[in-house]
Structure 1
Amino acid sequence: MPEKSTAENLADIVETLADSVSKRKSVSFFVEEKSNPVANQFKRLFGRENPVHNLLGGGKSADVLLWRNKKISASVLTGATVIWVLFEWLNYHFLTLIFFALVLGMLAQFIWTNASGLFNSGRSQSKVPRLVLPKEIFVNIAVQIGAEVNRALGFLQDVACGGNIKQFLLVVLSLWAAAVVGSWCNFLTVFYVGFVAAHTLPVLYERYEDEVDNFVYAVLEQIQHNYQKLDAGLLSKIPKGKLEGKKSE
């Protein structure tokens, strides 16, 4: 009897130890699983929480920018490239292309109308489809452009009146850099470069976001480290006036 009781006691001890180990593993697993999103949140660029698709609006425009449908995105980028080549390399003018397009459209409708009457003798001429652009397209374009322009003007006014000198200087330097870049090339080339960047950089960032975030944070840490060295070696040694003594006097 005593041998049996000791064996049972040993079995109970082993079972309790196994249960405790399994509980600890499960608890540590869930703790790590909960802590991973927090760690990833701090590693994301600019502290973002939403995916890139949501940051771009989450609609059809975001699908085009992120190449969800490769045919549509490729056709849009190809069309923009063709327009840029026609205007920049071939030196076409906007009015010339518009009038040539209208002439070609009228010729196509003229041939369609007369050819259908010749081949279908005795029958009524087939109706040529008419191109009619809906008014909603122009209204939506105007509303979107107006909203973006007002948002940009509001941001610039907030920066100018906000009292944040660092942000004010950063925006002024950015505008100055944009003005310098604009002096190198015309508006169409700048617009085309921005269009190509908008259709390539988001999809590349979405595909390699971990590598890009780690690289950017490494660069920021290096810049911060160099600034601390500069502050400790030079900026902290700059003498400051005794404002308190002057005020007391």
Structure 2
Amino acid sequence: MSMHGPLYAILGGGIVADILLWKDKKSAAAILLGSTALWFFLQVLEYHFVSLLCDTLMLFMAVGVLWCKFAGRIFNRMPSEINIQLPQSTCIYFFGTVNWFLLKFCEITSGKNFKILFVAMAGLYMLSSIGTYISSLNLLYTIILSVGTLPALYARYETQVDAIAARCIGVVKNLCKLFEVKVLDKIPRHRKLN
């Protein structure tokens, strides 16, 4: 089954969709392995983030110096000059996303739409409640793992997942009807007389 379906379009149809649907296997695996390693160091080994960041940078600096000094002797090739820069489009996208988030936050907090305000506050309350029982790092890792694997699994088993989801929706509808008949219909209501 081709992965260029509606899910590919929903995910943006570009590099992000390729990674989330595992069309770019190297990048998807690198992201999951990197996040797993970060989680392992911070959660299991109880490494502190600043220490891990500094030690990692020192390791990369040492490897870079060794590569620049000895690559020509060992591999008979001259090392290229190291130049790492983020593309300007990445920075524009990042700050555009931050600005969109701030705009939505101001829009919600203005109180013009109380339904959205209530939903946002309820969602934040649920996240806060979950946060008291689960470590933030474990929650973040679970989200990254889910985002990195679930879209690809859904694309692969789309028909089976849709069939199970349809059955679950049917069960929920039946439970709602049962609740309405057994509970809501028995509540006396005031009727207006003409």
The two structures share one fold, judged by TM-score above 0.5: yes
Is the 2:68–2:79 contact (alpha carbons within 8 Å) kept by the matching residues of 1? yes
1:81 correspondence with 2:36: yes
Correspondence 1:13-92 to 2 at 5 A: 51-92=6-47
CA distance 1:198–1:229, change in 2 (3 Å): same
Q: What letter matches 2:188 in structure 1?
A: P
Which residue identity does 1:89 align to in structure 2? V
| Cα pair distance change 1:72/1:236, threshold 3 Å | same
What is the match of residue 138 of structure 1?
Answer: 91
Which residue pairs with 1:45 in the alignment? Answer: none
Contact 2:20 / 2:149 at 8 angstroms: preserved in 1?
Answer: yes
**What is the root-mean-square deviation of aligned Cα atoms in Å?**
3.3
Quick check: 1:104 aligned with 2:59? yes
SS of the residue corresponding to residue 12 of structure 2 reads coil
Question: Hey, what does 1:227 align to over in structure 2?
Answer: 176
What is the CA–CA distance in structure 1 between the aligned matches of 2:53 and 2:27, rounded to whole Å?
Answer: 24
Within the alignment, does 1:129 sit opposite 2:81 as a pair?
yes
Amino acid at match of 2:62: L
The alpha carbon displacement at 1:163 in A equals 5.8
* Contact 2:67-2:79 at 8 Å conserved across structures: no
Distance change (3 Å), C-alpha of 1:196 and 1:220: same
Match for 2:30: what amino acid?
S
| Structure 2: gaps of 5 or more residues | none
Deviation at 1:193, TM superposition (A): 0.8
Q: Distance in 2 between matches of 1:235 and 1:89?
A: 50
2:32–2:148 CA contact under 8 A, matched in 1: yes
Which amino acid letter does the alignment assign opposite residue 25 of structure 2?
K
TM-score w.r.t. the length of structure 1 is: 0.61
1:109 touches 1:128 (CA, 8 Å); kept in 2?
no
Task: Return the letter of the residue paired with 1:97.
Answer: L
Larger RCO (alpha carbons 8 Å, 6+ apart): 2
Structure 1 stretches lacking a partner, 5+ long: 1-49, 120-125
Measure the CA separation in 1 of the matches of 2:61 and 2:34: 22
What is the aligned partner in structure 2 of residue 42 from structure 1? none
| Counterparts of 1:238 and 1:60, CA distance in 2 | 54
Distance 1:128 1:183 in 2: 49
Alignment coverage as a number of residue pairs: 185
Question: Structure 1 residues 219, 184: closer, same or farther in 2, change over 3 A?
Answer: same
Larger CA Rg, structure 1 vs 2: 1
Higher helix share: 1
Please state how far the C-alpha of 1:157 moved relative to its aligned partner: 5.7
Alpha-carbon contact 1:66-1:203 (below 8 Å) kept: yes
Give deviations 1:104-128, integer Å, cap 9, x for gaps.
Answer: 3443455566669xx7xxxxxx787
